[in-house]
Amino acid sequence: MSTKRCYYEVLGVAREAPAEDLRRAYKQLALKHHPDRNQGNAAAEATFKEVNEAYQVLSDEEKRRMYDQFGHAAFDGSLGSGGFQGGGVGDVFAHMQDLFSEMFSGGAGGGFGGRQARRGGDLRVQQRLTLDEAAFGVKKDVVVQAPARCGDCGGTGARPGTAPETCSHCRGAGHVSNARGFVMFTTTCPKCQGQGAVIKNPCKPCQGHGVVERARKVTVSFPAGLDAGQRLRVPGQGLPGPGGSQPGDLYVEIDVEEDPRFERDGADLVARVHVTFTDAAMGAQLDVPALEPKDESGHEKRVPLTLPPGTQPGAVITLKGHGIPRLDGRGRGNLVVVVQVDVPKALSNRAREILQELDAELKSPGEPSEGAQRRAASK
């Protein structure tokens, strides 16, 4: 039995939770346990990996369906060729077909179509983007440190000028069958380890493995409107397949840096603007920061904002169409401006006198303040 925690428990959501709830829960947990925020905290790093693993499965509709049906066994290999548990009638027939293929194979042709080349495994990397890059899209080189196809042998594992030879023990099938009474048992060929071929003259750089460890750059186009927790699939940029077969895919997990100007809420942006008491009381025309592509000079774009008279602290003003471009291309979100009124911490004598007069004026509308009365009496 798997010792892994339930993926729904890891993300803290119900089993029937919609995709948006999954994304929101993942974003919060990933930010909380991100290694950059928890330097040297091994527990936080382990939780971060656990949260990523859970979201990678549950955010994929097909993988989530399999997980709901089989649990962790759907991905740990425990449902092997004989594992019918949890499967339907279709699964049983699929296993029976595999069994008959193995029983009647054994020649070089591999029975029902021969041994198929295995595809390479997938790779997953994380790429951090700035808010501007995530909002408007960018093309970047992603560095991948992983096994890559050997350039000397082309991935075959054999020394240049030679080629792998068909395994004489299994005759290229990759497995051998033995009869025990009326039952035929099939096992992986012990000589070629299931490859169907042996390498008598291995390539020196890769030592016959067909792959070498190295860093490589993959150019990835990030579309506009990405958010943290989403991922991109780059076909054919994963691990190379054995014997020069088709490589796997590269999955790029998106992380977005915090921006000091804004807080992000989906496609909307929240900006906090500080104004003086005078501007809040009398109204003003302001310029607030906006998320727009920078011009050639690199200057930050700003948009006009009309502050109405009598604006209260915490007032919210919405500027439509100045948020994040939506990933589906249907316009942009909004810029939500939260007004914060700054109260002076130190006052001069004159400023204090003016405020006292203002206070008296506001308390008795239409009546002259004490200061005004004193000035009138002195004339």
- Which amino acid would we find at residue 255? D
Q: Is 244 helix (H, G, I), strand (E, B) or coil?
A: helix
- Averaged pLDDT score across all residues of the chain: 81
Identify the residue with better confidence: 296 or 188.
Answer: 188
Q: Is 372 helix (H, G, I), strand (E, B) or coil?
A: helix
Residue 184, burial from CB neighbour count under 10 angstroms (0-12, 13-18, 19+): middle
How many Cβ atoms sit within 10 Å of the Cβ of residue 280?
Answer: 21
Say what the pLDDT of residue 256 is. Answer: 94
Say what the pLDDT of residue 373 is. Answer: 55
Look at the block and give the residue holding tokens 């012990």: 190
Are 226 and 254 a contacting pair, CB within 8 Å? yes
Q: Is 127 helix (H, G, I), strand (E, B) or coil?
A: strand
Say what the pLDDT of residue 186 is. Answer: 80
**Structural domains of the chain ordered from first start:** 115-164+199-258 (2.60.260.20), 263-343 (2.60.260.20), 345-379 (no CATH)
How far apart CA 54 and CA 8 sit, in angstroms, is 8
Q: Residue 272 is inside which H or E element, if any?
A: strand 268-276
Helix axes 61-70, 42-58, angle to 10 degrees: 100
- Among candidates 325, 310, 237, 232, which has minimal Cα distance to 275? 310
User: What predicted TM-score, i.e. pTM, was given to this entire model?
Assistant: 0.53
pLDDT in tens, 38-94: 878 888 888 988 988 898 889 988 888 888 877 877 776 555 443 333 333 333 333
pLDDT band (50, 70, 90) for residue 335: very high
Say what the pLDDT of residue 244 is. Answer: 66
Say what the pLDDT of residue 310 is. Answer: 93
Looking at the predicted structure, is the pLDDT value of residue 216 above 80?
yes
User: What mean pLDDT do residues 352-375 have?
Assistant: 72
Q: Residue 323 is inside which H or E element, if any?
A: none
**How far is residue 373 from each of residues 205, 270, 335, 356, 365, measured CA to CA in Å?**
97, 47, 47, 14, 14
Say what the pLDDT of residue 287 is. Answer: 92
How far apart CA 62 and CA 212 sit, in angstroms, is 33
How far apart CA 193 and CA 206 sit, in angstroms, is 18
Identify the residue with better confidence: 126 or 70.
Answer: 126
Looking at the predicted structure, is the pLDDT value of residue 101 above 60?
no
Q: Is 71 helix (H, G, I), strand (E, B) or coil?
A: helix
